[in-house]
Chain A
Amino acid sequence: MHETVFQIATLWLALLIVPCGVLVLRARTASSRILALDTLILVLVGILVLLSDAEGVSYFLDAALLLALLGFMGSLAAARFYSRGKIF
């Protein structure tokens, strides 16, 4: 039961990457694409958390933390570039 739920959850989150990727490529405005990329990175963090649970090791969470950090900085830089044409 426990393993089945985690497998289904990992598969479901992996499938959720697809609509996020479609939005990144096809959204109407650039800000929507930035937001879709942010959401895609959050889904990847969720997959890494589930993998860490299933394997019982904490190494995946290092990658998840780094991914969340880089995703935040990336969306921040992209949004600032979108807003004023330069980052700093």
Chain B
Amino acid sequence: MAVAAIEWDAFVADALVLTGLLMTTLGVVGLFRMPDIYTQLHAAGKAVVLGIIALLVASLATRDADIAAKALLIAVFLILTTPVGAHVIARGAYRRGECMRTPGAIDESGHDLNDPKAHTPAEEMTAGQASRAETEEAQTSGADG
């Protein structure tokens, strides 16, 4: 029975590792396939992090208290910090005026970011547009903190 239990542990750990690999790979593929930063954040912010957390859960099968505690710490840290990082990146892209290239995307903020033809990309932003974005940021920074 003991041998069977150990093999079952290893099987679950292997399955979790393979699941984590699959999700991480799909997240990286999503980074290539998604047309703009707002949809790339979906792939990187959810799939990759959940894949790494699957790897961390798989490390519980080693039955080592040190490894389990540190893996739990890393998992909690990743769950707490990844949405913050994704939010900051998306807000930076939004304030630089990066357009939404996804077909059917609707920009409900009124900044007209949903038409690639009508908006200059962020790299070609002129100084006047940059200063306007700065003033808009100063006006809206009180609202969305």
Interchain nearest-CB distance for B96 vs A (Å): 6
**A75 contacts B49, C-beta separation under 8 Å:** no
Where the two chains meet, the residues of B that have a C-beta atom closer than 8 Å to any C-beta of A are 10, 13-14, 17-18, 20-21, 24-25, 27-28, 31-32, 37, 40-41, 44, 48-49, 51-52, 55-56, 58-59, 61-62, 64, 66-67, 70-71, 73-74, 77-78, 81-82, 84-85, 88-89, 91-93, 95-96, 98, 121-123, 134, 137
Given A9-B18, A36-B31: A53 in contact with B122 (beta carbons within 8 A)? no
Residue of A with least CB distance to B134: A84
**B21 contacts A29, C-beta separation under 8 Å:** no
Alpha-carbon distance A58/B13, docked complex (angstroms):
17
Alpha-carbon distance A45/B54, docked complex (angstroms):
12
Chain B binding surface SS class: helix
**B25 contacts A31, C-beta separation under 8 Å:** no
Given A53-B59, A65-B73: A19 in contact with B88 (beta carbons within 8 A)? no
What 1/0 mask marks residues of chain A from 10 to 46 whose CB sits below 8 Å from any chain B CB? 0011001001100100001111101110110011011
**B93 contacts A31, C-beta separation under 8 Å:** yes
**A84 contacts B137, C-beta separation under 8 Å:** yes
Indicate which residue in B13, B40, B49 contacts A35 across the interface (CB closer than 8 Å). B40
Chain A binding surface SS class: helix
**A76 contacts B88, C-beta separation under 8 Å:** yes
Alpha-carbon distance A86/B107, docked complex (angstroms):
26
Interface centre among A6, A35, A72, A76, by most chain B C-beta atoms within 10 angstroms, is A35
Alpha-carbon distance A52/B36, docked complex (angstroms):
35
Interchain nearest-CB distance for A82 vs B (Å): 5
**B37 contacts A2, C-beta separation under 8 Å:** no
**B56 contacts A31, C-beta separation under 8 Å:** no
Alpha-carbon distance A29/B52, docked complex (angstroms):
26
Indicate which residue in B58, B81, B134 contacts A68 across the interface (CB closer than 8 Å). B81
The 3 closest A-B pairs by CB, nearest first: A83-B92, A58-B66, A61-B70
